[in-house]
Amino acid sequence: MGAAELASRFRVAGVAFADTEHGLVRVQVSRGGSAGELFLQGAQVTAWQPAGQRPVIFTSARAVFAPGKAIRGGVPVILPWFGPHPTAPTAPQHGVARTAPWRLERVEEAMADGIGLTLALDGAGSDWWPEAAVARLRVVFGSELRLDLAVENRAAQAIEFEEALHAYFAISDIASVSVTGLEGCRFIDKTAGGARRPPTGGRLTLASETDSVYLDTPATVAIEDPAWRRRILVEKEGAASTIVWNPWADKAAAMADLGPDQWQGMICVEAGNVADNKISLAAGATHRMSTRISVAGG
């Protein structure tokens, strides 16, 4: 459906639909002083700003908004594999969900100050994920940002998959922020060929390219940003992994949709089920994962 048809079908105050120059559909939400944005391609959140705060979600100024192209930033939905496909090197990075057209099923008032959007994606028929599975994502924009991802296995046999809500956060400067809550967790260091690292025992600060998959992590981690006097809480349920990523200067400069001047103002802290924590889902079963993002201070 195009923007006009969606606007006619879903009549909720504070929700607007628009067709972009290259044919994508954008949903903009405004309620109680908070604002958000989502694209139907990938069911991808690209903006969220609670009332009285700076933007919390980072989307690159060089992001490409075109059919079949991954959008750099926001909260991509990673499914059904994380990173490169384990056996098919030509398969798309991070799975098929983040560039697929999702179907908008419902728009609703949610919480006292929020708007909820529910989107669905059928897995059956994909060249890269032929299983009879259905993914549903519910996004609530308000004083908090909440994302709930459910995968239903409609196949006659168990399926396995990885998943992540690949959140990019806007920060003052990567050199001055830290991440707390992962002090006791072992991790996979993807910058070192997947080496297994023991817990560091201290808060995480970044000083070089970082691509780490923390395993069996606690329910809440925080991004501490003293320059902006705020703390971003990332709470999760049904997600055993936390991924932390920043490409740093050289790799960012080589990325056409990021460039040399934006990597310092972003950090990815992602809820997921990756590597050792991947999901094995029985026939007829449903797995649910959620993340809730909130801000203190500012």
Cα torsion for 238, 244, 246, 251, to the nearest 10°? Answer: -90
Over range 83-89, report the average pLDDT.
Answer: 91
Over range 61-79, report the average pLDDT.
Answer: 97
> What DSSP assignment string belongs to the chain?
--HHHHHHH---TTEEEEE-TTS-EEEEEEETTEEEEEETBTTEEEEEE-TTS---B-B-TT---STTPPPSBSB-EEBS-SSS-SS-TTSPTTBSGGGSBPEEEEEEEETTTEEEEEEEEE-TT-SS--S-EEEEEEEEESSSEEEEEEEEE-SSS-EEE-EEE--EEE-S-TTT-EEES-TT--EEEGGGTSEEE---SS-B--SS-EEEEE-S--SEEEEEEGGGTEEEEEEEES--EEEEEE-HHHHHHT-TTT-TTSGGGEEEEEEEE-GGG-EEE-TT-EEEEEEEEEEEE-
Give percent of the chain with pLDDT exceeding 90: 93
Tell the burial category of 256 from Cβ atoms under 10 Å away from its Cβ (0-12, 13-18, 19+).
exposed
What pLDDT score was predicted for residue 298? 60
What pLDDT score was predicted for residue 129? 84
Tens of pLDDT, residues 145-166: 999 999 999 999 999 999 999 9
Give percent of the chain with pLDDT exceeding 70: 99
List the one residue out of 200, 196, 201 whose CA is nearest residue 213: 196
Q: Supply the residues annotated as catalytic.
A: 166, 270
List the one residue out of 211, 168, 214 whose CA is nearest residue 76: 168
Sign of CA dihedral 65, 69, 70, 72: negative
pLDDT at 279 over 90: yes
What pLDDT score was predicted for residue 127? 78
The Cβ of residue 226 has, within 10 Å, a number of other Cβ atoms equal to 12
What pLDDT score was predicted for residue 125? 67
pTM (predicted TM-score): 0.97
Tens of pLDDT, residues 113-143: 899 999 999 987 677 888 889 999 999 999 9
Minimum mean pLDDT among 48-57, 127-136, 267-276: which range? 127-136
Distance CA 254, CA 233 (A): 31
Q: Domains of the chain: which residue ranges? A: 3-297
Q: How many degrees, rounded to 5, is the angle at CA 146 between CA 142 and CA 147?
A: 140
Amino acid at 116: G
Distance CA 235, CA 142 (A): 16
Q: CB within 8 A of 261, min separation 6: which ones?
A: none
**CATH architecture of the region 3-297:** Distorted Sandwich (2.70)
Are 31 and 14 within 8 A, CB to CB?
yes
